């Protein structure tokens, strides 16, 4: 099929997508942008891509829909198991130790760029399993893809998507329903799914752990650095940051300390 975008259209769209979300399209993934915009043109029944550009510039809702359409939402339960081994064996014990004797006994986690919810549900199942009173937890799961957030909020996953969940967790935290599994309310109620654009929205506060895995990979270095600095301000002392195992803060000159545990590498706010 012929390309939709001319060189100047491509420049126009990549600029607005970058300005609005931090997501960077290079010439090597231009065809992805092309096919996703074709889909939007079909749905809006507009004849030319320039008409669609005018629409997104004048209609905030369509801008959100366009950004949603160009995101990549690939995820799965227990993605990169060593991260969760480090969470269970190192991160949570250190948080508990730090909170010991203090009045605040809640562990606060942010899954930033949570896609369809598999990551925050993985964290919730683990915390439900290992945290004992007086400790409790809450998770904020955010994304700019409204379609993905709706899937997470619903908490239904088809048989094909529950791969990776240990049998004991599946039996304890899910109900078998027609065609798949439904997350039980005791887990669902620990997560608040929220629209949040990492490029523009203010960070959260007083968090103990941030998971932002396989999100920064779509940003250029300047956008990555801005987000990582925002994460630093969102975290409590002695807290932790996870990024994807193929991502790195190397050379970025941030205040985070690189941490090598027996299970996986991650970052710490060590002040």
Ligand X SMILES: C[S@@+](CC[C@H](N)C(=O)[O-])C[C@H]1O[C@@H](n2cnc3c(N)ncnc32)[C@H](O)[C@@H]1O
Which residues of the chain form contacts with ligand X (CB under 6 A)? 21-23, 71-75, 79, 113-115, 119, 143-145, 148, 196-199, 213-215, 218
- The shares of helix, strand and coil residues in the chain, as percent rounded to the nearest 5, are 45, 20, 30
For ligand X, the closer CB: 65 or 145: 145
For ligand X, the closer CB: 4 or 141: 141
Rounded Cα distance between 115 and 141, Å, is 9
CA 60 to mean position of chain CA atoms: 22
Q: Closest distance between ligand X and the C-beta of residue 43, in Å?
A: 18
Rounded Cα distance between 216 and 261, Å, is 22
For ligand X, the closer CB: 4 or 223: 223
Q: Closest distance between ligand X and the C-beta of residue 44, in Å?
A: 20
Q: Closest distance between ligand X and the C-beta of residue 226, in Å?
A: 11
For ligand X, the closer CB: 99 or 212: 212
CA 53 to mean position of chain CA atoms: 27
Q: Closest distance between ligand X and the C-beta of residue 195, in Å?
A: 9
Rounded Cα distance between 253 and 28, Å, is 28
To which H or E segment does residue 29 belong? none
- Tokens 């991160």 belong to 91
For ligand X, the closer CB: 218 or 240: 218
Contact 35, 42 (CB under 8 A): no
Q: Closest distance between ligand X and the C-beta of residue 85, in Å?
A: 16
Rounded Cα distance between 145 and 68, Å, is 5
For ligand X, the closer CB: 108 or 196: 196
For ligand X, the closer CB: 46 or 226: 226
Exposure of 50 in the CB half-sphere (CA atoms within 13 A):
3
Q: Closest distance between ligand X and the C-beta of residue 223, in Å?
A: 8
Contact 157, 181 (CB under 8 A): yes
- Tokens 């027996």 belong to 262
Q: Could you please report the per-residue DSSP string of 138-150?
A: EEEEEES-HHHHH
Q: Closest distance between ligand X and the C-beta of residue 243, in Å?
A: 9
Q: Closest distance between ligand X and the C-beta of residue 246, in Å?
A: 11
Report the SS3 class of residue 33.
Answer: helix
Contact 91, 169 (CB under 8 A): no
For ligand X, the closer CB: 22 or 203: 22
To which H or E segment does residue 28 belong? none
């Amino acid at each position: 099929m012929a390309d939709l975008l001319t060189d100047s259209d491509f420049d126009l769209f990549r600029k607005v997508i970058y300005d609005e979300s931090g997501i960077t399209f290079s010439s090597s993934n231009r065809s992805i942008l092309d096919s996703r915009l074709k889909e939007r043109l079909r749905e809006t029944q507009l004849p030319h891509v320039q008409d669609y550009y005018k629409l997104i510039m004048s209609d905030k809702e369509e801008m959100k829909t366009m950004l949603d359409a160009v995101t990549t939402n690939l995820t799965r339960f227990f993605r990169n198991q060593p991260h969760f081994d480090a969470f269970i064996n190192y991160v949570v014990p250190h948080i508990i130790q730090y909170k010991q004797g203090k009045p605040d006994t809640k562990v606060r986690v942010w899954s930033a760029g949570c896609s369809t919810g598999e990551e925050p549900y993985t964290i919730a199942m683990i915390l439900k399993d290992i945290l004992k009173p007086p400790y409790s937890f809450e998770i904020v799961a955010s994304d700019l893809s409204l379609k993905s957030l709706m899937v997470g909020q619903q908490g239904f996953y088809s048989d094909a998507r529950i791969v990776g969940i240990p049998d004991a967790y599946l039996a304890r935290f899910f109900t078998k329903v027609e065609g798949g599994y439904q997350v039980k309310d005791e887990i669902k109620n620990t997560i608040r799914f929220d629209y949040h654009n990492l490029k523009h929205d203010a960070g959260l506060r007083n968090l103990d752990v941030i998971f932002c895995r396989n999100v920064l990979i779509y940003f250029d270095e300047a956008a990555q650095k801005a987000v990582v600095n925002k994460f630093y301000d969102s975290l409590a002392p002695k807290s932790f940051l996870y990024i994807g195992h193929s991502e790195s803060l190397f050379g970025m000159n941030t205040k985070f300390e690189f941490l090598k545990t027996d299970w996986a590498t991650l970052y710490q706010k060590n002040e």
